[in-house]
Structure formats: C-alpha cells, structure tokens
Amino acid sequence: MRIFDEAKKEMVFEDSIKYWNSGKTREWLDLGIDLIMGKREGYYFYDLDGKKLMDVHINGGTYSLGHRNPEVIQALIEGTTQCDIGNHHFPSVVKAALAKELANVSPEGVSHVIYASGGGEAIDLALKSARNSTGRKKIISIQSCYHGHTGLAVTAGDSRFSKIFLTEGNSEDSVKVPFNDIEAMEEALSKNDAACVIMETIPATYGFPMPKEGYLPAVKALCEKYGALYIADEVQTGLMRSGSMWAITGYGVIPDIIVTSKGFSGGVYPIAAVIMNEKASNWIREDGSAHMSTFGGSELGCIVALKVLEILQRPETIKNVKFVSEYLREGLEKIKAENKDFFVEIRQNGTIMGLKFNGDKSGISVMQHLYNEGVWAIYSMLDNSVVQFKPGILCTKEYCDELLEKMAKGIKSAAEEAASKVKVV
Ligand SMILES: Cc1ncc(COP(=O)(O)O)c(C=O)c1O
C-alpha cells in the first residue's frame, strides 16, 4: 500500500475537519502551518505536497533517534515474527529484560518498573504510587507545568488543559508553586500532608526555563524532610538528551520515581515506564493487580525500547550528544548576536533547548518563519515567547550546518517582521 502517493492534501484537511479534530486542524491552518506529514526519514520529513522539513520538534523527543531509525525498525520487524502485544497479566521474557535494563540505567535502588502505553498514563501511575506509599493525597506541582492529559496528570498541570473538562485540581489535593522558588516549595511541603512533588527536570511546555543552581537538590531535600516523594517527569528530558540517561541525575538528585515515554518508543511503538524505588513501589507488593493496562508494556513495545536503550548507551551516541549540543550552541550564539534585540536567550542543557524571543507571541512568529524556511520547531504552549529547539541526538555535522543556515534566515525574517511592526505602531 502506498499511503502517501494517492492522498490529496485538500481532501485530508476536509476529512480532518469533518471527522477528526476540527479545532486543531483549523488552529494550524490559521497559523499558516498547512502541513500533512508524508514521507519521513532520519531528521527530515516531507509535507504531502513534497515540502521538505528539518525536524527539530521531533515530537518532544519521540524522534530523538530519528524518524524510522533503521535499527529500531529492524528490531520491531523481527519482534513481529515471534511476538505480539502479549498478555498484560503475565510476566514475560521481554518485559522482564526491559525492566532489568531500566533498573541498570537508573540510580541504584530505583529499580522497580511498571509499564504504561503513554506518558500521561505513566504520570497517573507515578502519582497513584506516591499516594499509596505515603497514605497522603496532596500533589504539589509547578505553576504552568505540563504532564499530559489523563486524569491525575491533567489535574497536576496548568489549567489551560484542565479547565475545559472541569478537571482543575482543588486547593486541598493539588497545590501549584512557582518554578525555582524554594521558599514557596517549603511553604507547600511544610504542612506535612503532601504525597509528592512532581516536576519536569526542565519544564518543556513552559519554555525550558533552567533550574537555578541548587534548586532541584533543595526540593529533594525538602521532600525528604516533610515525608513526600519526588517524581521526576523525564518524558522530554530523559533518554540521554542531556548527555546523561536521566537529566535529573546530572543535577545531583536521585528521585523516588522516574517517568519515561516519548523517545522510549523509538517513535515506532508506544510504550512508557515508571521506575520506582522500594518505598514508592509499595503497592506492587501490597496488591500487584491494583493497576493494569492492556497495552502497557506490550511485548513489541518492550523489544523496541530495549533497542532504544542499547543505542543510547553506545559511546558514539553519547559523544554525538556532546557534539550536537556544542556545535549548535556555537551557531545559535552567532545568530543571537546578529539579532540581539529580538533573540534574547538560549536555554540549554545538552540537546534540550529553548530559544526565547522578544514579545509575548514571538515564539509563534519564529515558528512560522522557520516553517517557511523548511524547519519544523514548535513554540512553547505555556510561554509563547519560546521556541522549543530539540535536535535529534544522532544529527551529523552536515545536518547541523544546514539547520543553522535555515535558522539564521528564519530568525532574521521574524526579527525584521517584529521590527517593522514596532515602527508602524
Ligand atoms: C513532560 C511531559 N510529561 C508527560 C507527557 C504526556 O505524554 P503523552 O502525550 O504520551 O501522554 C508529555 C507529553 O508531551 C510531556 O511532555
């Protein structure tokens, strides 16, 4: 079946508006992003009309190893010759092997693994685990944070996504404090009634603000002082994107729970995992059937994730993360210097990057201009002045050079447009 050869873009838009998600389809069209994904390979993908795009959104890290990474695809194909989803009630060869490998790549003692089919589901499970472990209900999270759209995850997140479904957290069970404000965190924790603090190590949807020196270890110390668990949402920041398997350990913190998803799937087979220490995983021993998910830890997903972890740990992969991080930083600094009134900040930890521009909606404008130049990077939904810049960790020098050239053009034209608007006003 040739999926893309016969498809007509107008028809796909029409059907999407009629039968899929009209609001979302229109939202992109209104922003001038008339995109239907067609063929894809490595860190490129094509619009159905043939427009070639360099992918530095990579769906939040999902394609960190590239679109249709050949080794990952091969693992999946070979997996299908013997396995299917499996049966979520039983232990299995690949489920056990992947759990053992996750324990191996996580800090000592963070070694009990339960699977999920996606990030939100895994976050819900992490929060439930903290509640069971502490016998407390309250969840402390960060203002403007994002952990997905499932029940507890959406409640813990910004009201942008919970209000519409009447799922906003009430003040008793859900407390939100500003990021990087340790006094506010202590104030929230000092009531001795919180089950956990949940945090993205670097909050992506909020524009990748970097944690202040000492902030994350101080939060962990407060959690210990007041009997709450620390949940590290590593859905976007984990899997070697910082140069370490988990970004949180680079800040000297050993969390009680780590959540991973997105790139864990190799971009080809959905899977997520919650990795817990002894304390956080109490419910497993109390009642192992207390949480279940038919597709969570599907055997094909486990096979793919095992291959992902293998690729991530290769010395050449780790070396390339360093190269991509440094090389792109150098190039972006030049672009920033050329547009200094507009391009105001580069936020970075390894290949986790946020580019901040002048003006409330400037990130949206930069996204549009980059799109015109053939680069796909998305703005941060909870801080529209930031563009999320997430290069793949296997990018080559040639790719980086092409990307920087296009970034320079796109940012320059966005800066010129912003300057012309100021003059008119
Ligand atoms: C930090 C973070 N946590 C959790 C999630 C939820 O993952 P999913 O969309 O797979 O439910 C996301 C998704 O973007 C995320 O960025």
Whether the CB of 270 sits within 6 Å of ligand 1: no
Among 64, 145, 202, 235, say which to mutate for ligand 1: greatest number of ligand atoms within 8 Å of CB. 235
Q: Taking 70 as the threshold, does the pLDDT of residue 118 lie above it?
A: yes
Give the pLDDT confidence of 285-343 residue by residue, as tens digits. Answer: 999 999 999 999 999 999 999 999 999 999 999 999 999 999 999 999 999 999 999 99
Cβ(187)–Cβ(197) below 8 Å? no
Percent share of the chain, pLDDT over 70: 99
Whether the CB of 123 sits within 6 Å of ligand 1: yes
Helix, coil or strand: residue 18: helix
Whether the CB of 200 sits within 6 Å of ligand 1: yes
Q: 78 CA distance to ligand 1 centroid (A)?
A: 28
> Is residue 159 exposed (0-12), middle (13-18) or buried (19+ Cβ within 10 Å)?
middle
Q: Taking 70 as the threshold, does the pLDDT of residue 178 lie above it?
A: yes
Q: Which atom of ligand 1 is nearest to the CA of 237?
A: 1
pLDDT of 1 reads: 72
Q: 119 CA distance to ligand 1 centroid (A)?
A: 5
Q: Whose CA is nearest to atom 10 of ligand 1?
A: 119
Q: Which atom of ligand 1 is nearest to the CA of 149?
A: 11
Whether the CB of 147 sits within 6 Å of ligand 1: yes
Q: Which atom of ligand 1 is nearest to the CA of 200?
A: 1
Strands 383-389 and 352-357: antiparallel
Q: Taking 60 as the threshold, does the pLDDT of residue 425 lie above it?
A: no
Whether the CB of 120 sits within 6 Å of ligand 1: yes
Whether the CB of 388 sits within 6 Å of ligand 1: no
pLDDT band with cut points at 50, 70 and 90 for residue 424: low
Whether the CB of 142 sits within 6 Å of ligand 1: no
Cβ(222)–Cβ(186) below 8 Å? yes
* Dist CA 360 CA 321 (whole Å): 31
Helix H, strand E, coil C: the string for 117-162 is CCHHHHHHHHHHHHHHHHCCCEEEEECCCCCCCCHHHHHHCCHHHH
Task: Assign domain 70-312 to its CATH architecture.
Answer: 3-Layer(aba) Sandwich (3.40)
Give the pLDDT confidence of 66-75 residue by residue, as tens digits. Answer: 999 999 999 9
Whether the CB of 234 sits within 6 Å of ligand 1: no
Nearest to 58 by CA among 353, 398, 405: 353
Dihedral sign from CA coordinates of 235, 265, 318, 60: negative
pLDDT of 2 reads: 87
Cβ(199)–Cβ(258) below 8 Å? no
Give the pLDDT confidence of 12-53 residue by residue, as tens digits. Answer: 999 999 999 999 999 999 999 999 999 999 999 999 999 999
> Across the beta sheet with 383-389, what order do the strands follow?
343-349, 352-357, 383-389, 379-380
Element (DSSP H or E) covering residue 58: helix 58-61
* Dist CA 292 CA 112 (whole Å): 15
Q: Taking 90 as the threshold, does the pLDDT of residue 282 lie above it?
A: yes
Give the pLDDT confidence of 239-269 residue by residue, as tens digits. Answer: 999 999 999 999 999 999 999 999 999 999 9
Whether the CB of 298 sits within 6 Å of ligand 1: no
pLDDT of 169 reads: 82
CB atoms within 10 A of CB 217: 14
pLDDT of 339 reads: 98
- The domain limits of the chain are 70-312
Percent share of the chain, pLDDT over 90: 96
Whether the CB of 119 sits within 6 Å of ligand 1: yes
> Is residue 331 exposed (0-12), middle (13-18) or buried (19+ Cβ within 10 Å)?
middle
Dihedral sign from CA coordinates of 101, 107, 110, 114: negative
